[in-house]
């Protein structure tokens, strides 16, 4: 039996609108994480997709006078799949909840839970927020203001909730409170960061009520196998994507794939959807006697004016608004390094511009271009053979080993900003090394030819390592760097380089052709003036 794959997921996105950078944020984080794991030599499965059922999508389609199916097909093809390409996301699969494989799995799952006695019919009455697609309790609501004065509104969307009164089927969530508490006690990292874990534990301790798992007034959904007048409540349909995509409820080959992939190593989510993932989802899995995900990691929000960025509040920024100016690599770098994963962060054009110039253009970009230029000028574009290493050279090699270890430790813990900071410090140190070694001065003295060769070889090898370490974050730029170092000929594909062996010195072959490429991070329009 092959080893279990590292398995990471994003939430599946609602297709009521086009993606904004809040969605892109989760997708990029998952991509950096899975690329990192692949570069540790592991097999990794990265899943993303779209959440296509429910009232929100149904109403949006009606507003546009098209059927829900036409609407979701259009949005997925025109926006949600293309944005993955724009962002260079290397997902292994894309699940849509309208696909047959998903519907089959969802129906099978609920059939199993009904047979086990975890589902029963009962009337439901209470407030529902269509924006959240969630049944609300009093604590989730507040008095509306302005046009909604006198009404109760949802605290997230600031829009009135709707009072529902339906005959539904209920899931026995209340059976699982103790087991969930025990699970989180035994596995303190199963919900991260700690603030999210505390929130989940406190919520469970308040006591869990059974919850409606079906809707009778909604047409756009997956019918219950035993009651075709009802569809599965959209969240209890959507959460199952994490298992239906990897083969749950399919044929024998699919089930085998499932056994090799499940449980998920991490579900990446925004903190707004924590309860669904850290309470409902594990309870559903417990009921079905399936293993629980190893971790649910709740990241913070991208804020605009102190509030969660959102399309419905017209604060959404499309990823292409940023990538058109800065390029996709800088986009990925910025969001992973400027905001601590797990905390909220405000996006600002000014900060983006400052970091782009200081850390990328003047940092890595400058290092790459000046070293290629010097090898071009002093060694006709051929990587020179290093002579004896001095203590300074060896210290840099040692630093690389420390940096690689530290970056690895941070990245696997989803501390992307710290992982990137470690690599960035190394870039700065290599730039500092060039400044102190002054190769341009060495070049003037024929007796220092050997020393010049050693210095430039050291810089090129450092850049080789930087390309490997930064590849999960900035795959496009690092590939350019890799090519310009002539590394592919001696070391093979960049994606195959193991981050844990990156400090093994002497990979680049002397004599390899070093090419000057256009600047990795071109100067920004405004700065050119």
From 265-273, 447-455, 477-485, 510-518, give the range in contact with ligand MSP by CB under 6 A: 265-273
Confirm or reject binding of residue 14 to ligand MSP (CB under 6 A).
yes
Location of structure tokens 């075709």: 228
Quick one: which of 22, 68, 282, 293 contacts ligand MSP (CB under 6 A)?
22
Distances (CA, A) of 263 to 15, 173, 177, 183: 26, 21, 21, 15
What's 192's DSSP letter?
E
**381 touches 520 (CB < 8 A):** no
Binding to ligand MSP (CB under 6 A) within 275-304 occurs at 301-302
Q: Which 3-state string (H, E, C) describes 353-400?
A: HHHHHHHHHHHHHHHHHHHHHHHHHHHCCECCCCCCCCHHHHHHHHHH
Angle at 95 between CA 414 and CA 82, to 5 degrees: 80
Tell me which residue has its CB nearest to ligand MSP: 270
From 10-18, 139-147, 223-231, 244-252, give the range in contact with ligand MSP by CB under 6 A: 10-18
- 56 flagged as catalytic: no
Confirm or reject binding of residue 51 to ligand MSP (CB under 6 A).
yes
Strand pairing of 119-129 and 134-135?
Answer: antiparallel
Confirm or reject binding of residue 308 to ligand MSP (CB under 6 A).
yes
For ligand MSP, what does the binding mask look like between residues 197 and 236, x meaning CB under 6 A?
Answer: ----------------------------------------
* Choice between 50 and 371, CB closer to ligand MSP: 50
Tell the smallest beta-carbon distance from residue 281 to ligand MSP (Å).
8
- 154 flagged as catalytic: yes
Beta strands (DSSP E) in 172-308 are 191-192, 211-212, 214-215, 223-224, 227-232, 266-270, 296-299, 302-304, 307-308
Taking alpha carbons only, the member of 25, 142, 148 closest to residue 89 is 25
Confirm or reject binding of residue 23 to ligand MSP (CB under 6 A).
yes
- 37 flagged as catalytic: no
Size of the site for ligand MSP (CB under 6 A): 21
What residues have CB less than 8 Å from 185, skipping those under 6 apart?
none
Confirm or reject binding of residue 97 to ligand MSP (CB under 6 A).
no
Tell the smallest beta-carbon distance from residue 520 to ligand MSP (Å).
28
What residues have CB less than 8 Å from 141, skipping those under 6 apart?
127, 152, 153, 154, 155, 161
Confirm or reject binding of residue 87 to ligand MSP (CB under 6 A).
no
* Choice between 58 and 461, CB closer to ligand MSP: 58
Integer Cα distance of 144 and 121 in angstroms: 33
Q: Cα-flanking dihedrals φ and ψ of residue 32, to 5°?
A: -60, -45
Query: Assign residue 198 a region: left if phi > 0, alpha if psi is -120 to 50, beta otherwise?
Result: alpha
Quick one: which of 89, 224, 273, 478 contacts ligand MSP (CB under 6 A)?
273
Tell the smallest beta-carbon distance from residue 269 to ligand MSP (Å).
5
Taking alpha carbons only, the member of 310, 376, 277 closest to residue 21 is 310
Binding to ligand MSP (CB under 6 A) within 121-160 occurs at none
Quick one: which of 238, 459, 465, 478 contacts ligand MSP (CB under 6 A)?
238
**53 touches 234 (CB < 8 A):** yes
Quick one: which of 6, 7, 8, 26 contacts ligand MSP (CB under 6 A)?
26
- List 79, 157, 413, 516, catalytic entry: 157
- List 4, 158, 311, 516, catalytic entry: 311
From 38-46, 161-169, 307-315, 334-342, give the range in contact with ligand MSP by CB under 6 A: 307-315
Distances (CA, A) of 225 to 107, 173, 359, 415: 6, 20, 56, 43
- List 114, 132, 271, 478, catalytic entry: 132
Tell the smallest beta-carbon distance from residue 19 to ligand MSP (Å).
8
Confirm or reject binding of residue 335 to ligand MSP (CB under 6 A).
no
Tokens of 370: 């000046």
Residues that bind ligand MSP (CB under 6 A): 11-14, 22-23, 25-26, 51, 238-239, 241, 269-270, 272-273, 301-302, 308-310
Among all residues, which ones are annotated catalytic?
Answer: 20, 23, 129, 132, 154, 157, 308, 311
């Amino acid at each position: 039996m092959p080893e279990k794959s590292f398995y990471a997921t994003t939430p599946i996105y609602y297709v009521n609108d086009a993606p904004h950078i809040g969605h892109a944020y989760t997708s990029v984080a998952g991509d950096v994480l899975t690329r990192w794991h692949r570069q540790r030599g592991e097999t990794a499965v990265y899943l993303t997709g779209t959440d296509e059922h429910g009232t929100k999508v149904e109403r949006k389609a009606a507003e546009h006078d098209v059927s829900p199916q036409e609407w979701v097909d259009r949005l997925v093809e025109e926006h949600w799949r293309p944005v993955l390409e724009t962002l260079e996301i290397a997902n292994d699969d894309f699940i849509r909840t309208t696909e047959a494989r998903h519907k089959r799995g969802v129906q099978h799952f609920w059939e199993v839970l009904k047979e086990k006695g975890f589902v029963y019919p009962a009337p439901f009455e209470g407030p529902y927020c269509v924006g959240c697609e969630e049944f609300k309790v009093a604590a989730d609501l507040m008095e509306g203001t302005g046009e909604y004065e006198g009404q109760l509104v949802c605290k997230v969307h600031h829009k009135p909730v709707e009072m529902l009164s339906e005959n539904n089927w209920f899931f026995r969530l209340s059976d699982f409170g103790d087991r969930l508490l025990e699970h989180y006690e035994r596995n303190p990292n199963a919900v991260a960061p700690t603030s999210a874990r505390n929130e989940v534990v406190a919520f469970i301790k308040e006591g869990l009520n059974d919850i409606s798992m079906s809707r009778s007034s909604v047409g756009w959904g997956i019918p219950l196998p035993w009651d075709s007048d009802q569809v599965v409540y959209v969240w209890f349909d959507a959460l199952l994507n994490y298992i239906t995509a990897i083969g749950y409820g399919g044929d024998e080959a699919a089930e085998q794939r499932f056994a090799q992939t499940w449980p998920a190593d991490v579900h990446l989510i925004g903190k707004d959807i924590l309860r669904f993932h850290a309470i409902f989802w594990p309870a559903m899995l417990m009921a079905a006697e399936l293993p629980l995900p190893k971790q649910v990691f709740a990241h913070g929000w991208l804020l605009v004016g102190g509030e969660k960025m959102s399309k419905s509040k017209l604060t959404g920024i499309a990823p292409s608004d940023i990538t058109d100016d800065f390029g996709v690599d800088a986009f990925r770098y910025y969001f992973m390094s400027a905001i601590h994963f797990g905390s909220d962060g405000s996006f600002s054009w000014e900060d983006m511009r400052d970091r782009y110039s200081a850390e990328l253009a003047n940092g890595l970009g400058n290092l790459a271009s000046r070293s290629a230029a010097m090898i071009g000028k002093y060694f006709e574009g051929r990587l020179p053979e290093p002579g004896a290493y001095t203590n300074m050279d060896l210290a840099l090699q040692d630093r690389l080993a420390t940096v690689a270890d530290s970056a690895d430790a941070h990245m696997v813990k989803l501390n992307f900003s710290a992982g990137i900071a470690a690599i960035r410090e190394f870039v700065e140190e290599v730039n500092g090394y060039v400044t102190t070694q002054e190769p341009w001065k060495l070049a003037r003295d024929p007796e220092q030819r050997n020393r010049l060769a050693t210095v430039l070889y050291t810089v090129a090898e450092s850049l080789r390592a930087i390309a490997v370490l930064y590849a999960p974050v900035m795959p496009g730029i690092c590939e350019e760097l890799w090519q310009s170092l002539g590394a592919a000929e001696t070391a093979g594909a960049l994606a195959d380089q193991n981050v844990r062996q990156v400090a093994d010195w002497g990979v680049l072959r002397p004599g390899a052709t070093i090419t000057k490429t256009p600047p990795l991070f071109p100067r920004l329009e405004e700065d050119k003036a």
